[in-house]
Structure 1
Amino acid sequence: MKTETFEPVSLDAVTFEPASPSEFEAQFRLIKQGVGEFVDAIWGWDDDAQRQRIQERNPQSGFHWLAYHGQRVGLVCYHPYDKNLHVHLLVIKKRYQAMGIGREVMNRLESHAPQVGCDAITLSSFNDNHAAVGFYRALGFYTVKTEPHFINLRKNLGQ
C-alpha cells in the first residue's frame, strides 16, 4: 500500500470564501457528509428536517467555503458572541482530511477572534465523533460541558 505524504498547508494556501444562499444545497451535501452518520445514529437523518434545522440555527452570513489552491475543500460556519468566536461547524471533504487544512482553518480563526473582540473559541462536537474531539483536544481545547450526545469545548486565547 502506497502512503501519500503532503506538504504542510500554509495559511496563504487556504482561503475563506463567503458562501452564497443560492449554494445552500451544495453546503447541505457537505454537511451531510461530515455529520450525517452521527445525526442518523442518534435521531435518524431526514433531509427536509435537517435543511430546516441548519437554516434556522446557522445564519447564512457565517458560512464560508474553504478553498485550497482554488479547490473547494470544506465548509466552516462561525459567529462571534459574548466575547467568544463560536464555530458552529467545520467540515473538510474526506479526500482533503489529514493534510493540515483543518488545523490551518482553526489557526486562522484564532488570529481572527481578537479582531472581532473575542478572547476564546467555543464549539460543540458529537461525543461519538472521536476524530473531531481528538483533533480539537490536540489544538488545546478543553471540555466545558458534556451532554448526552455532545461535548462542549473551549480554547482561551492570549494566555
Structure 2
Amino acid sequence: MGSTPSLPAWEIRNLANTTGFTSEQIEILHRRFLHLTDGKATMCKDCFDNIPDLDCNPIKSRIVNAFFDRRNLGQQTSGTVDEITFENFLTTLSFFQHMDDNHTKEDLEYYKNEKLQFQEPEQLYDGITFDDFLKIMQDMKIETKMHVRFLNMDTTAICK
C-alpha cells in the first residue's frame, strides 16, 4: 500500500486558522477522511456508515446531514450537496469539537453559543426564540458535550 498523500503546510495553516484544529489534528483527520473515502478527494453520505462510534449516536442522521447542508458549508442557499471536500468536512466538524474546561469562561461561552446556533432554527420549539432557548440552556455544558469523536476513532474496524 502506498503512503497517504499529505496536505501542503500552507493549507494546514489555513485550515488551522479557520477551524481551530491543531496541525496534528488536521493531519490525522485528513488521513481518516482519505481512509473513509478510499482515497477520493470528496466524501458522500455513505462514507459515514463506516464510522462505528457514530452508529450508536441517537442523532446520527442529523449529524451526517449537517455535513452536507449548504448553509453549514458557507453557502447562502438552503438544501444539500451530494459530496463534500476535506475542507468542507473539517469546517463542519469544527462545530463538533470537544471543548474541555481548560478554556476561559468567555471562550466556553462563545463555543457554547456557536454550537447552539449550529442547530437548525426549525429544531427549536414553536414560539421560543433563540435568545429564549439560550436562557433555557444556560446551565447546560453543551460546549463540552456536543461533539463527535473522529480523532479517537478506531480505524482497525474500518480497515479491510
TM-score > 0.5, shorter chain as reference: no
TM-score by length of 2: 0.32
Q: Which has the higher helix share?
A: 2
Q: Which has the higher strand share?
A: 1
CA radius of gyration, larger in: 2
